[in-house]
């Protein structure tokens, strides 16, 4: 699998080099290949519709989270009691009760976790597919209107220092698996903010979505 991926990266590099060489060959040669990149992490984070969908999922989970917090609070009381008095032979009955309460609480939390997964699992899947299609359409439209032949997607968290150990380690991990990771991008070739502008056409001052206005549906 790694060898296959590396061959894919090599083939891509050859395509890009072919475009560069075509430009150098002068009139009559094939047109140069215009390649850009887009940060999918930024688009999924700052697309207004993605934020609304995330909020919707959080609201669906709110009752379950509230119930989980109550269970954790009771478990914490029993845990604190056990740490103080659990080894006292005179408190054997309460020790057994608290120990049982801890087990029951853990099972209840596991049940709530299963309920949460069932509640949002299919909905989250549907939302992801919808967002992916809309973002893909926006990228495609921008590329076609601006002469791009190929757009590579990468996934950096927005508004963070790219040179932290965690981010560098994440990128190196992708490279080790044979993935092509943008290492240097010339100004103007990263189309992330341009695509975000297409997805959020109705933003007003400060990046706040206009109330009641839905983003453009690029599937039409």
In this structure, are residues 153 and 38 in contact, taking their beta carbons and an 8 Å threshold? yes
pTM attached to this predicted model: 0.69
Lowest mean pLDDT among 78-92, 169-183, 202-216: 202-216
Confidence of residue 27 (pLDDT cuts 50, 70, 90): low
Confidence of residue 28 (pLDDT cuts 50, 70, 90): low
For 172, phi and psi rounded to 5 degrees? -65, -35
Mean pLDDT of 126-149: 96
Comparing CA positions, the residue from 150, 11, 14, 151 lying closest to residue 22 is: 14
Q: Which two tokens stand for residue 50?
A: 């993605």
19 has a pLDDT exceeding 60: no
Confidence of residue 86 (pLDDT cuts 50, 70, 90): confident
**Distance in angstroms (rounded) separating the CA atoms of residues 109 and 67:** 9
199 has a pLDDT exceeding 50: yes
């Amino acid at each position: 699998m790694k060898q296959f991926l590396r061959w894919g990266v090599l083939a891509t590099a050859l395509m890009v080099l072919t475009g560069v060489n075509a430009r150098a060959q002068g009139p009559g040669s094939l047109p140069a290949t215009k390649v850009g990149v887009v940060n999918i992490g930024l688009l999924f984070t700052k697309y207004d519709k993605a934020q609304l969908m995330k909020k919707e999922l959080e609201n669906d989970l709110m009752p379950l989270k509230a119930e989980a917090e109550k269970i954790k609070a009771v478990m914490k009381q029993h845990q604190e009691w056990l740490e103080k008095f659990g080894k006292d032979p005179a408190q054997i009955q309460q020790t057994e009760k608290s120990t049982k309460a801890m087990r029951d609480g853990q099972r209840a939390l596991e049940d709530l976790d299963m309920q949460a997964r069932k509640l949002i699992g299919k909905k989250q899947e549907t939302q992801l597919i919808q967002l992916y299609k809309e973002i893909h359409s926006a990228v495609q439209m921008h590329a076609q209107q601006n002469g791009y032949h190929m757009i590579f997607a990468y996934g950096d968290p927005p508004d963070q220092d790219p040179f932290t150990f965690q981010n560098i380690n994440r990128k190196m991990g992708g490279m080790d698996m044979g993935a092509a990771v943008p290492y240097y991008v010339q100004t103007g070739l990263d189309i992330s903010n341009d695509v975000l502008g297409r997805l959020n056409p109705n933003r007003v001052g400060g990046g706040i979505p206009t109330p009641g206005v839905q983003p453009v549906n690029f599937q039409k």
